[in-house]
C-alpha cells in the first residue's frame, strides 16, 4: 500500500510538463522498468546497494564501512517496497494520466481567472477529477493485497532468511511443491482468495457510503 500514492504523484508531476516531447521521454523512461524481469531488477539493486555494490565501493574508498542492504532482514520491507515502486510505479501512472486528460481544461482556466493558485487548482479540480479512479484502483489493490509478488520474495529469500521473506505465496509453494502437503497448501490458497474477496466487498461498501460507484453499484 505504500506504493499506491506514487503513480498518482508521478502522473500529476508529468502532466505539468508543458513540452510534449519531454513528457513522452520522461513517461517512457519511468514506465520502462515494468518490462524488466524480477531477476534483472534484483540484480540491478544488488549492483548498487549490495555488499559489493557501487555505494559500498564508494564508501570503502573514503574510509567508511560498506553497506549491504540486500542481506539485511531489518530493512527488507523497505527494500521490497523500493523495488516495487521503481519497477511498477511508472506503469500504474498511465491510468492516472488518462484520467487527468479527461478533466475539462476550462475548469483550470476559470479557476485561474478567479485567482486560484496552483495548489488550490490541484486540491479543488485535479484531485476530485481523479477521485473515482483512485477509489476504483484502491479497491482492486486491497483485493490484491495478499499477492505481494512470489518471484520477488522467492529470489531474495535465501539472502535475508525465511523469517524476513516468508509470505503467503512462498509458504504455499513450500508446503505444496517442496514438502508435498497439497491439502495444506490448497487450504492456504483458498483462505487467501476468500480474504481478498472480503476486502473487495468491504472496500466497495465503504466507497458506496462515500458516494462513489466503486467497482459495482447495486441497482434498486
Residue 190 pLDDT: 87
Range 166-169 contact pairs with CB under 8 angstroms and sequence separation of 24 or more: 168/192
Residue 2 pLDDT: 65
Residue 37 pLDDT: 92
Q: Which residue bears the cell 523469517?
A: 163
Answer yes or no: are the C-beta atoms of 12 and 126 closer than 8 Å.
Answer: yes
Residue 1 pLDDT: 56
Residue 33 pLDDT: 92
Residue 220 pLDDT: 52
Q: pLDDT below 70 — which residues of the chain? A: 1-2, 217-220
Residue 40 pLDDT: 94
Residue 53 pLDDT: 84
Q: For the chain, what are the domain ranges? A: 5-209
**5-209 is classed CATH 3.10.20.600:** no
- pLDDT tens digits, 136-173: 888 888 877 777 778 899 899 888 888 888 888 888 88
pTM: 0.82
C-alpha–C-alpha distance, residues 134 and 145, integer Å? 16
Amino acid at each position: 500500500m505504500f506504493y499506491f500514492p506514487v503513480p498518482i504523484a508521478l502522473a500529476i508531476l508529468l502532466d505539468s510538463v508543458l513540452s510534449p516531447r519531454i513528457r513522452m521521454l520522461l513517461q517512457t523512461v519511468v514506465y520502462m522498468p515494468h518490462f524488466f524481469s524480477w531477476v534483472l531488477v534484483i540484480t540491478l539493486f544488488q549492483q548498487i546497494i549490495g555488499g559489493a555494490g557501487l555505494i559500498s565501493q564508494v564508501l570503502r574508498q573514503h574510509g567508511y564501512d560498506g553497506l549491504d542492504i540486500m542481506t539485511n532482514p531489518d530493512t527488507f520491507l523497505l527494500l521490497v517496497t523500493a523495488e516495487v515502486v521503481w519497477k511498477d510505479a511508472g506503469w500504474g501512472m498511465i491510468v492516472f494520466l488518462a484520467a487527468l486528460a479527461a478533466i475539462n481544461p476550462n475548469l483550470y482556466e476559470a479557476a485561474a481567472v478567479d485567482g486560484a493558485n496552483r495548489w488550490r487548482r490541484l486540491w479543488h479540480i485535479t484531485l476530485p477529477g481523479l477521485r473515482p479512479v483512485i477509489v476504483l484502483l484502491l479497491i482492486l489493490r486491497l483485493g490484491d493485497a495478499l499477492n505481494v509478488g512470489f518471484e520477488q520474495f522467492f529470489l531474495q529469500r535465501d539472502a535475508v532468511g525465511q523469517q524476513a521473506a516468508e509470505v503467503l505465496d512462498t509458504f504455499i509453494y513450500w508446503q505444496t511443491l517442496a514438502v508435498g502437503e497439497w491439502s495444506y497448501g490448497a487450504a492456504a490458497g483458498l483462505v487467501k482468495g476468500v480474504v481478498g474477496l472480503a476486502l473487495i466487498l468491504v472496500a466497495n461498501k465503504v466507497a458506496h457510503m462515500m458516494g462513489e460507484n466503486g467497482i459495482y453499484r447495486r441497482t434498486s
